[in-house]
Amino acid sequence: MREEIINLLKKENKLSDESISEIKNIEIDDFANIVKELGQEETEHIKKSEILKDLNTEYIGKELYVYKEVSSTNTVAKFLSMNDVKNGTVVISEKQTKAKGRSGKSWESPLGGVWLSIILKPNVEQSKFPMITIATGVAVAKTLEKVGVEEPEIKWPNDIMINGKKVCGILTEAVAKFNTVENVIIGVGIDANLEVTQFPEELQAGTTTLKEELNKEGNENLLIKIFLEEFEKISELFNHAGYEAILKEWRKRSYSIGKIVEVREPFNTYYDGYVVGIDKDGVLIVEKIDGTLKKVISGECIIKN
């Protein structure tokens, strides 16, 4: 973690290579303050002032850090979450150099996208955590609807799709202390003002961007503001056990239900099945070829039809 923060500081030209040894001796509190200060500096494309202007939230985004470039907003958010930040703190970066996708994959994050992480301190039991990701998917889909996307869909667990192509991914990570989850980091990547040709060739067929779908450049700051508002609305439902209402919104936009999929669970268990739905905890229910029902808690689901 410390190495990643050092790299972040190097990127911002705040420290020369020679002073890296010095930073290793900085007290962790001072270190956190430096990272916080960097996140208050003016950035060129993503504007803190525009996001905060009329932001209609109680706590999401009220503490906001915006960077020009970081390795991963999830990494910075994890670090900050251990250093005295409020529930709902948001970390944004204009670019990421080592962004993380699900299943250990990397994530393309050039300038023009929306790359952000939210620090949540949930006060619900751990079994409900998959619902946070489900709820985030709904918040992104609602945001896209508000900026003019017709019928965005959610592919379990958390890919947002437009016309069958992925426009957004979500990576939720838990930060635990003494085996208890203290913070959840929700990383959201939206391919906003980008061209599909900016992505590696092997990803292009399955990827889309808001700019291409809406045939125009959009306002990233407005997109972020709307998302933070939608996120707070749905996390309030989450905090007050409104799981059924969240699931209803998810099911309305499901890309997965009714499809034949190949399930790839961790540790290489692969099987085909038919997606029946998601249960009350946000777990996917798949009917295998032999008729048995399987609960898929994590992994990939490759759509086959």
Q: Helix H segments across the chain?
A: 2-11, 20-23, 28-38, 48-52, 73-81, 130-146, 201-204, 210-214, 220-239, 243-252
Residue 152 within binding range of ligand BTN, rule CB under 6 A = no
Q: Pull the structure tokens for residue 93.
A: 């970066």
100 backbone φψ class: left, alpha, beta (φ>0; ψ -120 to 50):
beta
- Give the span between the Cα atoms of 8 and 1, in whole angstroms: 11
Residue 101 within binding range of ligand BTN, rule CB under 6 A = yes
Output the CA torsion 224→226→227→228 (10° steps).
90
Q: Which of 107, 156, 199, 231 binds ligand BTN (CB under 6 A)?
A: 107
Burial degree of 138 (CB within 10 A; 0-12, 13-18, 19+): buried
| Options 70-78, 133-141, 261-269, 274-282: segment touching ligand BTN (CB under 6 A) | 70-78
Give me the least distance between CB of 106 and ligand BTN, in Å please: 9
| Options 51-59, 164-172, 242-250, 278-286: segment touching ligand BTN (CB under 6 A) | 164-172
Q: Which of 51, 66, 99, 226 binds ligand BTN (CB under 6 A)?
A: 99
Q: Which of 39, 122, 137, 169 binds ligand BTN (CB under 6 A)?
A: 169
- In this structure, the number of other CB atoms found within 10 A of the CB of residue 57 comes to 19
Output the CA torsion 290→257→227→60 (10° steps).
-50
Give me the least distance between CB of 99 and ligand BTN, in Å please: 4
C-beta closer to ligand BTN: residue 198 or 276: 198
Q: What are phi and psi of 264, to 5 degrees?
A: -120, 95
C-beta closer to ligand BTN: residue 189 or 218: 189
| Options 81-89, 166-174, 194-202, 284-292: segment touching ligand BTN (CB under 6 A) | 166-174
**Of residues 175-204, which lie at the interface with ligand BTN (CB under 6 A)?**
187-189
Q: Which of 57, 81, 89, 117 binds ligand BTN (CB under 6 A)?
A: 117
